[in-house]
Structures are given as structure tokens and as C-alpha cells.
Amino acid sequence: MSANTAKTALGSSATPSMGRGAAAAAPAVKTLKDERTTAQASPRVAGPAARSGGPPSPRTKKASKTTLYDRFIPSRSDKELASSQFNLARGEGAQPLDGAAAAYQSEVARACGLSIGRRILSFTEEAPGGDSSGDVRALYSRTALKTSASVGSRRSIRTAPERVLDAPGIVEDYYLNLLDWSPANVLAIGLDQQVFLWNASTGDVSTLLTLAGDAYVASIKWMAGTSPYLAVGTSDGDVQIWDAESGARIRTMGGRQARVAALSWHAHVLSAGSRDGSIWNHDVRVARHKTAELVAHRGEVCGLTWRSDGALLASGANDNIVNIWDVRSLVPRFSITQHTAAVKALAWSPWELSLLASGGGLHDQHVHFWNTTTTARLNSINTGSQVTSIQWSPEYRELATAHGFPHNHLALWRYPSLTKIVDIPAHDTRVLHTAMSPDGETIATAASDDCLKFWRVFEARPKGALPKSREADVAPSSSAGYASIR
């Protein structure tokens, strides 16, 4: 019997009947069974009857009833493979965690920037579902799903400002921080010796303060929450606390000889960075306000920001170093030395507690992303321009970077892919300061071209939109209005 005939016989015996083909293969099956039965006969049966082809002995008859095949081919028709794979991935045998173990697991996941129950890797996307219409062309002409977008939820990014305010007298100094937006929707800007307030809800403009002598405003920062208090750092080393509602100065905290160019609040603690490289922590509730002095920088502190939980403080300075401070210590937890220019732009991610972005000046032009739990650098962007500010979107997995020389623009990036969404020509001169509106939709920018502009780059999703929307269309807008902040 040839090999091809044997293959045909085996394939026919292992597969269901398929009409005439199966009927034609039936004799081959019978021949294969007879030959294998003869080969398996006992060697003691060797009499004349066996040699002459006579009737077999009783032992031979018993052996001929056994049917043998080359291999075992199981039938999978009764198996629920998809369900089995799901149960295996889910881990049905896993023991439930008690309260302490579950709390510890949540704390570790939060520190590592992970989400419990969220799938980290996926081999491939699911195939498209069936179409009840039966149109095969419609089924296979669908475009591939994008994991970072939801169908029908694209938003428009306007490349022209929604509003422009005239802001003459802003100091042309990269190291100062003269713009901030309060949770009460009031924007504060420092113009030389004065601080002006613009109420974004009503459009009203008012003057909060005017410094005496030759002093000028070096930094401003709203207290978090609904408090109307504004901290103002001056060029002569003082830190003043003002009540924006009453227009009254509450207190002045002095004791320094160098200007205070960076401020950051956490609850009732105000951190102030100075040109001498030191950072003072002030408790504004007590008379002896200075509670700590952090000394590690060798240049002017120009970037300062508390993490949202108050556990870590990030500081950047003119010595090209970023220091991460633990609230329980007077020495840095670790230092970042990869920048090659002053670091003013610092921003904590609003949706990953351990993620920090830092941007360097003109001779660096990079934005680096850090895991402050492991101290690892996660990724970097070469922006091609001086980085003056970074703003994370609380709504989308995106961030905006503001730039000085040579392009003086705003750039939007997706995270973590770090693909650029759009470049927005913002000002005629370098963008010195940015502030985010309390609803997370609008970024205000200020530059030495005496303009304060508002860009609605993170427009909120409409109600009912899926929460994973990422996509954006770039569209011009001509709805900008012009006014003066003075």
C-alpha cells in the first residue's frame, strides 16, 4: 500500500463524512485496518492455515477485532476555548486579599504609577464583530481602531487665541514667575511694581497692590482651595500675603536680602525660593513663620512646585539641577543633573502621582519625564526651543509646553507616546509665563510683547463622551477679543 493511500485513509477516518469523497476513501480504510490487524497477529500462529491463507485461528480472530490508528486526534468541537482562556487570565484560583493586604497592594500600585485591574499589555485587538446585514465588504472595510481615541469624539484645537489682554510693563526676565490663576477663576499678573486681578467670570479688572520704592514684583502664587489669599514675592526679599477680596495685606514675612522668584503652596505651608539658592518654608498661621530652610542649589531658584499630596517638593534652579525634597528631610531625596541649562519648568502629573516633567532653558531645550519613586528617567523630548513652562491636562493624556527662543510658541504633546499634536505660534517674543484655568480647558500666556493671551486647547468632552477620548482636530479661530488689563 502506498504512502499517499495511507494518508488518504487516515485523513478520511479522522474527519466527518463529506459526501462522495468520503465514500471513495472507504475501501482504503478497510485495507489499512486489515493490513495492520495481520501485522499485529501473534507470532505463534504460523501453521499451514496461516501460510496458505486458510481460515485464521481463534486467537487471530480475537486480535482482528482490535482497530489501531497511527495517532490520536482529539475533537475540539465541545470545548469552550474562549471561556477557558478568559478564566485562566482572570485567575479563578486566586485567593481573595484581606483588608491589610489589599490596602498595601493599592499603596504599592499608586507609588509605581499603576492601576489595579487594568490590563498592561495586549497581544492584539479584537476582531470586528459580525454584521447582521450580511454585507462582507462593509465588515472588512472598517478602519483599525485607535487605542488612544474614541469614535466620534474628536475635539477642535484652536490655533488663534480666544482673548487678548494688553499687559504693558511686564518684566522681561526668564527667572520670574508673574502669572497665576486661582480656583475662584481670578487671574493675577505682576506688572513691574503692581499686581492686577482679572475676574474671568465677570471680566472685571482691579489693582491689588503697588510696591513702594524701587521694589518690583518677582513672583505670585494663589493659595490652594477656595481661599482668596495671594502670596507675592518681591525683589527686596519679602514675601507678602494679600486678601484679594478685601484688598488688604495680611502680613509680610521678611528676613532675606535676595529676591524671591518662586513660590509654591501646600495647605498652610508656603515655600519660597530665592536668588541665593535657598528655599524657606513658611507656616503662615504662626508668628514665627519660618519652619525650615532647604539649602542645596548653587544658583537662583526659579522653579518650585509641591506634589498634590504634599509628600514631595520639586525645585529647579540656575545651576541646571532639579532637587526632589522629602517633606520629612532637610536634604534632597535625590537630584537630577541631566539638564544643561536653568530649569524653570516643573510640573507634576495630575493623574500619575509619581510622574514629574522638567524642562530646560535655551542651551538645553529638553523636557524629561521622571518616576520620582524609582528616580528613573522615563522619556525625553527635544523641543528645539527654550522651555519656560509645562502644563498637564487634567482631562486628556496630554501636556502643553511653552517656549522662548527661537520659536516663541506653544506645543501640545500626547503622553506617553510623546507625539506632537500641534505647534501654536503664540507671541512675538518668548513666552515667559503660563497659567491653567480652574476648569482645565484654557491656558493663559504672558510675554514681553505686552500681551496676555488665552488659548482653549483642552476643551472638555461633551457629556456622554467616552472617557478615553484623545483625538484632536487643529482648527483656526477668529474669535479673539482685545482689551487692556490695566
Q: Average the pLDDT over each of 41-55, 77-91, 189-203 and give the range with the smallest value.
A: 41-55
Q: Average the pLDDT over each of 80-84, 310-314, 373-377 and give the range with the smallest value.
A: 80-84
Q: How confident is the model at residue 41 (pLDDT cuts 50, 70, 90)?
A: very low
Q: What is the pLDDT of residue 106?
A: 75
Q: How confident is the model at residue 441 (pLDDT cuts 50, 70, 90)?
A: very high
The residue assigned the cell 467616552 is: 466
Comparing 152 with 74, the larger pLDDT belongs to: 74
**pLDDT at 198 > cutoff 90:** yes
Alpha carbon distance 475, 155 (integer Å) = 10
Which domains does the chain carry?
1-32 (no CATH), 155-484 (2.130.10.10)
Comparing 294 with 146, the larger pLDDT belongs to: 294
Alpha carbon distance 464, 391 (integer Å) = 26
Length of the chain as a residue count: 486
Q: Tell me the torsion sign for CA atoms 130, 136, 137, 140.
A: positive
Pairing of strands 260-266, 248-253: unpaired
* Bridge partners for 231 per DSSP: 221, 241
**pLDDT at 40 > cutoff 70:** no
Q: 351 and 394 in contact (C-beta within 8 Å)?
A: yes
Mean pLDDT of all residues in the chain?
Answer: 79
Alpha carbon distance 108, 114 (integer Å) = 8
> Residues 266-307: pLDDT tens digits?
999 999 999 999 999 999 999 999 999 999 999 999 999 999
**pLDDT at 308 > cutoff 50:** yes
Q: 144 and 185 in contact (C-beta within 8 Å)?
A: no
Alpha carbon distance 237, 274 (integer Å) = 8
Q: 410 and 431 in contact (C-beta within 8 Å)?
A: yes
Sheet containing 179-181: give its strands across.
179-181, 186-191, 194-199, 205-210
3-state secondary structure of 103: helix
Q: Average the pLDDT over each of 55-69, 182-196, 318-332 and give the range with the smallest value.
A: 55-69
| Cell numbers representing residue 185 in the block | 477663576
**pLDDT at 342 > cutoff 90:** yes
**What does the pLDDT average to over 107-122?**
63
Residues 6+ apart with CB under 8 A from 183: 222, 224, 225, 226, 438
Q: 157 and 413 in contact (C-beta within 8 Å)?
A: no
Q: How confident is the model at residue 100 (pLDDT cuts 50, 70, 90)?
A: confident
Q: How confident is the model at residue 138 (pLDDT cuts 50, 70, 90)?
A: very low
pTM, full prediction? 0.68
Comparing 27 with 239, the larger pLDDT belongs to: 239
Query: Is residue 62 classed exposed, middle or buried when 0-12, 13-18 and 19+ CB atoms within 10 A define those classes?
Result: exposed
In the DSSP assignment, the letter for residue 80 is -
**What does the pLDDT average to over 449-475?**
72
- Give how far Cα 423 sits from Cα of 234, 410, 416, Å: 34, 6, 18
Alpha carbon distance 283, 289 (integer Å) = 5
**What does the pLDDT average to over 219-227?**
92
- Give how far Cα 257 sits from Cα of 237, 239, 322, Å: 5, 12, 23
